[in-house]
Amino acid sequence: MEHDTRGEDPLGRALRALGSSDPGIDVVALTAAARDRARTVRRRRRTTALAVAAVALVVPAGLSRLPVTEPAPRTAVASPEVVAELPAAALLDDAAVQDVLPGAVADAGLARAGGSAADAPAGLCRDETFTSPGTVVASRSAGWSVPATVVQPLPQAVTERLLLLRDGGAREFVAQVREQATGCAAAGEESTPWQVREGSGAGDASVTGWAQVLLGDNPHWRVRVVAREGDVVVDLQAEVFRADGEAVARQLEDLAAEALERAAGEVTR
């Protein structure tokens, strides 16, 4: 009997053709098994497709519930701050000092370097605590000396102290010296009363004082000049044997002007 193959799937037709060529083959059983196998494959494919779709839906939703960590903000790295400095080259040299004290040589025992407020006493005839120590940025000092002799029985010396200040501290420093100078002119503890002169022409402002420490034919003088230019203060002191104290004071004022000029070219702000 001829079988109607219209609408039959390709697998069924192939199996039926195989059965026609070999009557020993159970076409019905093979067809049923093949169809069962096909249904199983289709069912697994549908299950896999549904699982993939579920993952596609669930994973983004799950990710959306995870806490979002914002990237840490970048911290701007500040450039190194420029440190104010008073280098050794800002100080006077031996040749300049010898104009005031011939034969003087550098004396390490009279020199200090540092930036603490302790290095910044203010005054003319005596040192006092500076009233605005927080404005002192840096300080440096140097000294030159000549040993005592039989003719000049006291040591002679010149000392230089440079100060770098901020926030108007240099102006306050000179103002404090000027205020003390009035008392220095009235009396002297270890000397004759001080003679005081302001406005020597060294820098923006200056105060000069001088007094005799040792009387006689070969008097010994103590001279001090405090001068300011901008934020820099120079404090020069001299202990010398000389006939005329005012002449030494004028020399020291000229040296103070030179010290300020030298410092202006070397100070790092």
State the pLDDT at residue 77. Answer: 38
State the pLDDT at residue 68. Answer: 47
State the pLDDT at residue 55. Answer: 41
SS3 labels along 193-249? CCEEEECCCCCCEEEEEEEEEECCCCCEEEEEEEEEECCEEEEEEEEEECCCHHHHH
Chain segment 82-92, per-residue pLDDT in tens: 446 789 899 99
In this predicted structure, the answer to whether residue 252 has a pLDDT above a threshold of 90 is yes
C-beta separation of 141 from 113 below 8 A: yes
Of the ranges 8-17, 25-34, 142-151, 193-202, the best mean pLDDT one: 142-151
Tell me which of 99 and 48 has the higher pLDDT: 99
Tokens read off for 239: 């202990």
Read off the pLDDT band of 265 (50, 70, 90): confident
Mean predicted confidence (pLDDT) in 69-81 = 43
Task: Give me the chain's average pLDDT, please.
Answer: 78
Angle of helix 27-65 versus helix 10-21 axis, rounded to 10 = 150
Chain segment 218-231, per-residue pLDDT in tens: 899 999 999 999 99
The C-alpha atoms of residue 261 and residue 201 are separated, in whole angstroms, by 13
pTM of the model: 0.67
* DSSP line for the chain: -----TT--HHHHHHHHHHHH-TTS-HHHHHHHHHHHHHHHHHHHHHHHHHHHHHHHHHHHHHHHSPP-PPPPPPP-PPPPPPPB--GGGSPPHHHHHTTSTT-EE-GGG--EE-SGGG--B-SSS-B--S-GGGEEEEEEEEEEE---SSS-S-EEEEEEEEEE-TTHHHHHHHHHHHHHHHHHH--SSSSPPEEEE--SSSSEEEEEEEEEE-SSS-EEEEEEEEEETTEEEEEEEEEE-S-HHHHHHHHHHHHHHHHHHHHHH-B-
Chain segment 153-188, per-residue pLDDT in tens: 999 999 999 999 999 999 999 999 999 998 887 766
Return the half-sphere exposure (C-beta side, CA atoms, 13 A cut-off) of residue 255.
31
Cα dist. 65→54, 56, 60, 61, 157 in Å? 17, 15, 9, 7, 82
State the pLDDT at residue 48. Answer: 54
Tell me which of 246 and 17 has the higher pLDDT: 246
Lowest pLDDT segment from 145-154, 158-167, 192-201: 192-201
C-beta separation of 173 from 165 below 8 A: yes
State the pLDDT at residue 110. Answer: 87
State the pLDDT at residue 231. Answer: 95
Chain segment 19-62, per-residue pLDDT in tens: 565 555 555 555 565 566 656 656 666 655 554 444 444 444 44
Residue type present at position 269: R
State the pLDDT at residue 206. Answer: 95
State the pLDDT at residue 81. Answer: 38
| Residue 148, phi then psi, degrees to nearest 5 | -70, 150
